[in-house]
Amino acid sequence: MYLILKLVHVLAAIVFVGNITVGVLWKAMADRTRDPAIAAYTMGGIIRADRVFTIPAIIILVIAGVGTAQVGHLSILGTGWILWAIVLFIIAGLAFGPLSRAQREIYAVAEAGATSGTMDWSRYEALSMRWNVWGLIALITPLLAVACMVLKPALPAFH
């Protein structure tokens, strides 16, 4: 059971980190076109991918992670690498709120630009900067959490 839960946990981590990483690539490619219709379509796709991949992966990641720790008799708060991976995961989750708002606003601005033929590029770029900042936090923290899980460094925990 331990290995099955661990496998599910790792697969969920791959989907989670993979989807957020690919979203950065797709947005960068769309932005380079300077085409509001492509920007709107791409951001709409990123938003849908979050619903289909990222959010379910988060749920599976948590359930399988807690299950793996319990079956493996690992203390969640007493094992430093688990505790700090969770802290990093929570930080990523907190960054997802403003990131998600920025995504919806970027989509709305790009959609309006595509519909009207007049794109508010200054608004789009300001929102993109906000998306980049929160996105960087939402990407780096899970990558660090993966490093904690794989490397299992001796980190402080509650005993």
Residue 68's closest CA among 147, 138, 13? Answer: 13
Give the Cα separation of 28 and 58 in Å (integer).
24
Band of the pLDDT at 159, cuts 50, 70, 90?
A: confident
Consecutive H or E run containing 57: helix 55-71
- Domain membership of residue 159 (yes or no) is no
- Domain membership of residue 156 (yes or no) is no
- Domain membership of residue 77 (yes or no) is yes
Domain count, the chain: 1
Domain assignment of residue 117, given as a range: 2-151
The whole-number average pLDDT for the span 60-76 is 98
Specify the pTM.
Answer: 0.94
